[in-house]
Amino acid sequence: MFLKSLIRLKNTLSFRLTLWYAGIFTVSSLAIFIVLYVLLVSAIQRRTDESLLEETEELSLLLATTGVDQIMLYFSFESSLDGGDKIFFRLLKPNGEVVASSDMKFWKDVKVEKNVLAQMNEPTSRILKTETIKGMRYPVRIIYNATGTGLVVQVAKSLEDDIRFFESLRYIFSSLFIVLLAISSVVGWFMARRALLGVEKITETAIEISSGSLEKRVAESGRGEELDRLALAFNNMIDRIQALMKEMSDMTDNIAHDLRSPITKIRGAAEVTLTTGKSLGEFQAMASNTIEESDRLIGMINTMLDISEFEAGAGQFSVEKIDVPQLMESACDLFQPVAENKEINLALNLHADCYVQGDLQSLQRMAANLLDNALKYTPCGGSVEVACHCENGRVVISVSDNGIGISEEELPHIFKRFYRCDRSRSELGDGLGLSLAQAIAQAHGGHIAATSQLSVGSTFSVSLPNASGSL
């Protein structure tokens, strides 16, 4: 159990972030400590060498001005100052014979190195070296310095104090390092947890949503951080899903409603004919009524499928260069009899040289739907204008009428599937024409918009990418 939660913890992002944070912190602080340590050690070593050099230079000066007796006094005074076990002085002849020395009680094992003396042939020769002396715990720094009088001064200093200082420096640095490592791990863990709190909130909300609470949303801090943007995108996505679900449920209701009426009609007609029908003519009428209603149903289902295909970009789509004014003119020709029937003035205002790339049949269907609506929702004696022009790299087609118009409340809904305004229910229709027109326009990289005023009229505008320049 404990092992399992440990493995789970190991796999968490918080843990890995903490590890990274602590790792980076460890490496960088270690590097700083090492550099600091090396600098301090070399500074102290330099200082030790300088003090040895000073000692030998002072001795050379003393030797040049006074005699060996004075030197002996100096030796014992200086070695008693530092401690006889910390420093010793010796005055040597080039053959290694000792002329004078401080108390050598602690330094019996320090030999006179003849090979070193042999190298001291210049009046300014000096050799510095570190040696480990048998029986002594700490190494010794030794200097041989020619005095210019033919004698060589040898001064040796124990490195005990320096090494003890380095040891305590290492101890301080490692304790400091452990403390900093612990602090950095805690701070890293805290920061990682804090940063991931937002992600956890989103996860929790996602879990709640997946268990059915689609109205849940992630609280945004409003500070505009990355996680806030994620929360905003997440909330927008859920809004969209919720709207789609609502749309789907409305559509299912509408489909059920729209399918029920013709099916009930077909069933009623069949029942009446079956119970009361006597002649062949009555049965034939019932059959033709059934065919008519079935055709309407099939047409509606096909349109729904077409809309879905256009929306999914999966429709049968041949792409060719289409002369839009010509297309609109042919569509108007087709609807001219309907217009004449209702004494509607169908006017054209088509600018030449407006081309789009697209599927001719689909665009014809789009134009037909807009024209059909304009003529259907314009009372007898009204007027409809079909226009087309190019503007800012787009081809704009518009169909305007002075018909019944659409109210402000209903206007935002007219492109929804099966939506029909209250005032138009007396007319034949299934509420799919504008959805199809919109899906076709969007599948061609365009969009459709409507402006309308109740009892004044409506204008539907389609904007498509202009293809005048393409082949």
Stretch that binds ligand ADP, among 180-188, 294-302, 355-363, 397-405 (CB under 6 A): 397-405
Using rule CB under 6 A, residue 402 touches ligand ADP: no
Q: Of the two residues 89 and 377, which places its CB atom closer to ligand ADP in the complex?
A: 377
Write down the least CB distance from residue 424 to ligand ADP, Å. Answer: 3
Write down the least CB distance from residue 373 to ligand ADP, Å. Answer: 3
Token readout for 166 is 């380095």
Token readout for 114 is 């003849």
For residue 394, the cross-strand partners are 391, 465
- The closest alpha carbon to 152, from 113, 209, 207, belongs to 113
Write down the least CB distance from residue 206 to ligand ADP, Å. Answer: 36
Q: How far apart are CA 386 and CA 133, in angstroms?
A: 112
Tell which positions 320-379 bind ligand ADP, by CB under 6 A: 369, 373-374, 377
Please give the angle made by the CA atoms of 163, 168 and 170, to the nearest 5 degrees: 95
Write down the least CB distance from residue 385 to ligand ADP, Å. Answer: 12
User: Other CB atoms closer than 10 Å to residue 103's CB: what's the count?
Assistant: 14
Write down the least CB distance from residue 458 to ligand ADP, Å. Answer: 4
Write down the least CB distance from residue 299 to ligand ADP, Å. Answer: 11
Using rule CB under 6 A, residue 133 touches ligand ADP: no
Q: Of the two residues 140 and 437, which places its CB atom closer to ligand ADP in the complex?
A: 437
Residue located via tokens 């070399």: 42
Write down the least CB distance from residue 423 to ligand ADP, Å. Answer: 7
Q: How far apart are CA 403 and CA 458, in angstroms?
A: 7
Q: How far apart are CA 440 and CA 76, in angstroms?
A: 110
Which of 266, 395, 414, 462 touches ligand ADP by CB under 6 A?
414
Q: Of the two residues 83 and 412, which places its CB atom closer to ligand ADP in the complex?
A: 412
Q: Are 351 and 389 in contact (CB under 8 A)?
A: yes
Q: Are 155 and 161 in contact (CB under 8 A)?
A: no
Write down the least CB distance from residue 196 to ligand ADP, Å. Answer: 48
Read out DSSP for 265-332?
A: HHHHHHHHHHHH--SHHHHHHHHHHHHHHHHHHHHHHHHHHHHHHHHHT-S----EEEEHHHHHHHHH
Which of 406, 441, 448, 462 touches ligand ADP by CB under 6 A?
406
Which residues, 6+ apart, have CB-to-CB distance to 273 below 8 Å? 282, 283, 285, 286
Using rule CB under 6 A, residue 304 touches ligand ADP: no
Query: Judged by CB under 6 A, how many residues of this single chain contact ligand ADP?
Result: 22
Using rule CB under 6 A, residue 462 touches ligand ADP: no
Q: Are 50 and 44 in contact (CB under 8 A)?
A: no
Residue located via tokens 């600091």: 36
Q: How far apart are CA 227 and CA 234, in angstroms?
A: 10
Sign of CA pseudo-dihedral 117, 118, 122, 127? negative
Q: Of the two residues 87 and 434, which places its CB atom closer to ligand ADP in the complex?
A: 434
Tell which positions 2-31 bind ligand ADP, by CB under 6 A: none
Using rule CB under 6 A, residue 443 touches ligand ADP: no
Using rule CB under 6 A, residue 438 touches ligand ADP: no
Stretch that binds ligand ADP, among 292-300, 304-312, 317-325, 422-430 (CB under 6 A): 422-430
Write down the least CB distance from residue 435 to ligand ADP, Å. Answer: 6
b/e for 151-172, b at 16 or more Cβ within 10 A?
bbbbbbbbbbebeeebeebeee
Which of 434, 439, 441, 448 touches ligand ADP by CB under 6 A?
434
Q: Are 161 and 139 in contact (CB under 8 A)?
A: no
Stretch that binds ligand ADP, among 162-170, 238-246, 295-303, 421-429 (CB under 6 A): 421-429
Backbone angles phi, psi at 303, to 5 degrees: -60, -40
Using rule CB under 6 A, residue 439 touches ligand ADP: no
Q: Of the two residues 3 and 428, which places its CB atom closer to ligand ADP in the complex?
A: 428
Using rule CB under 6 A, residue 430 touches ligand ADP: yes
Stretch that binds ligand ADP, among 27-35, 230-238, 254-262, 417-425 (CB under 6 A): 417-425
Which of 18, 458, 463, 466 touches ligand ADP by CB under 6 A?
458
Write down the least CB distance from residue 406 to ligand ADP, Å. Answer: 5
Using rule CB under 6 A, residue 159 touches ligand ADP: no
Q: Are 119 and 127 in contact (CB under 8 A)?
A: yes
Which of 231, 420, 462, 467 touches ligand ADP by CB under 6 A?
420
Which of 188, 198, 358, 403 touches ligand ADP by CB under 6 A?
403
Q: Are 329 and 348 in contact (CB under 8 A)?
A: yes
Q: Of the two residues 329 and 430, which places its CB atom closer to ligand ADP in the complex?
A: 430
Burial environment of residue 390 by CB neighbours within 10 A (0 to 12, 13 to 18, 19 or more): middle
Q: Of the two residues 102 and 303, which places its CB atom closer to ligand ADP in the complex?
A: 303
Chain residues binding ligand ADP by CB under 6 A are: 369, 373-374, 377, 401, 403-406, 414, 419-421, 424, 429-435, 458
